[in-house]
A and B are shown apart, each in its own frame.
Chain A
Amino acid sequence: MSAMKPSRLLIAGLAAIGLTTAAQAADTITVVSWGGAYTNSQVKAYHEPWIAKTGNKINSEDYNGGLAEVRAQVEAGNVTWDLVDVELADAVRGCDEGILEPMPLDELPAGSDGTPAKDDFIAGTLHECAVGEIVWSTVYSYDTTKVATKPTTIADFFDLKKIPGKRGLRKTAKVNLEWALMADGVPADKVYEVLATPAGIDRAFAKLDTIKNDVVWWEAGAQPPQLLADGEVVMTSAYNGRLFNAIVNEKKPFDIVWDGQVWDIDLWVMPKGSKNKAAAMDFVKFATDTDRLADQANYISYGPVRKSSFAKVAPAMQPHMPTAPVNFKNPLQNDFGFWADYGDELNERFNAWLAS
Chain B
Amino acid sequence: MAALPSYAGPLERFWYYAFRFLCGSIFLFLIAPIIVMIPLSFNAEPYFTFTPEMLAFKSEAFSLRWYQDILDNEQWLHSMKNSFIVGIAATFLATSLGTIAALGLSRGDMPYRTLIMGLLLSPMIVPLIITAAGLFFFYSSLGLAQTYTGLILAHTALGTPFVVITVTATLSGFDRNLIRASSSLGASPQRTFFKVILPLISPGVISGGLFAFVTSFDEVVVALFLAGFEQRTVPRQMWAGIREQISPTILAVATILVGVSILLLATMEILRRRSERLRGLSPN
Please list the residues of chain A having a beta carbon within 8 angstroms of any beta carbon in chain B. Answer: 35-36, 59-62, 69, 72-73, 75-78, 80, 219-220, 222-223, 226
Nearest B residue (CB) for A225? B245
B243 at the interface (CB under 8 A from A): yes
User: In the complex, A219→B242 CA distance in Å?
Assistant: 12
Chain B residues with Cβ below 8 Å from A226 are: 244-245
Taking a contact as CB atoms under 8 Å apart, the answer to whether A80 and B228 are in contact is: yes
Partner of B228, one of A35, A36, A61: A61
Complex Cα gap A223–B245 (Å): 6
Chain B residues in 8 Å Cβ range of A76 = 137, 140-143
Q: A61-B229, A80-B145, A80-B146 are in contact. Are A222 and B244 (CB under 8 A)?
A: yes
**A219 and B228 contacting across the interface, CB-CB below 8 Å:** no
Q: How far is it, in angstroms, between the C-alpha of A219 and the C-alpha of B244 when the chains are bound?
A: 9
What is the 8 Å Cβ interface bit string for chain B, positions 192-215, against chain A (1 contact, 0 not)? 000000000000000000000000
Q: Nearest Cβ distance between residue B231 and chain A, in whole angstroms?
A: 10
The answer to whether A220 and B244 touch across the interface, beta carbons within 8 angstroms, is yes
Residues of B within 8 A of A69 (CB): 145
- Counting CB contacts under 8 A, is B230 at the interface? yes
Q: How far is the CA of A62 from the CA of B146 in the complex (A)?
A: 12
A180 to B251, CA, bound (A): 38
Verify A62–B244 contact, CB threshold 8 A. no
Q: Are A59 and B245 in contact (CB under 8 A)?
A: no
In the complex the two chains form, what is the Cα distance from A35 to B75 in whole Å?
13
Please report B residues at the A interface, Cβ cutoff 8 Å: 136-137, 140-143, 145-146, 228-230, 240, 243-245
| Given known A61-B228, A80-B145, A80-B228, contact A73–B244 (CB-CB < 8 A) | no
Closest Cβ of chain B: how far from A87's Cβ, in Å? 19
Complex CA gap A61/B228 in Å reads 7
B141 touches A78 (CB 8 A): yes
Query: In the assembled complex, which residues on chain A have CB atoms less than 8 Å from the CB atom of B137?
Result: 72, 76
10 tightest CB-CB pairs across the interface, nearest first? A76-B141, A222-B244, A78-B143, A61-B229, A226-B245, A76-B140, A72-B140, A220-B243, A220-B244, A80-B146
User: From residue B211, how far is it (CB to closest CB) to chain A in Å?
Assistant: 31
Bound-state Cα–Cα, A206 to B187, Å: 81
State whether A73 touches B245 (Cβ < 8 A): no
Q: Are A78 and B229 in contact (CB under 8 A)?
A: no
7 other contacts beyond A80-B146, A220-B240, A220-B243, with CB at 8 A cut-off? A59-B230, A60-B229, A72-B145, A220-B244, A222-B244, A223-B243, A226-B245
Tell me, in angstroms, the Cα distance from A105 to B244 when the chains sit together: 36
Q: Please give me the residue from chain B that is nearest to A71 by CB atom.
A: B140
Smallest Cβ distance from B8 to chain A, in angstroms? 51
Contacts of A72 in B (CB 8 A): 136-137, 140, 145
Cβ–Cβ < 8 Å partners of B230 in chain A = 59, 61
* Chain A residues, CB < 8 A from B145: 69, 72-73, 78, 80
Q: Which residue in chain A gives the minimum CB-CB distance to B47? A: A230
Beta-carbon nearest neighbor of B142 in chain A: A78
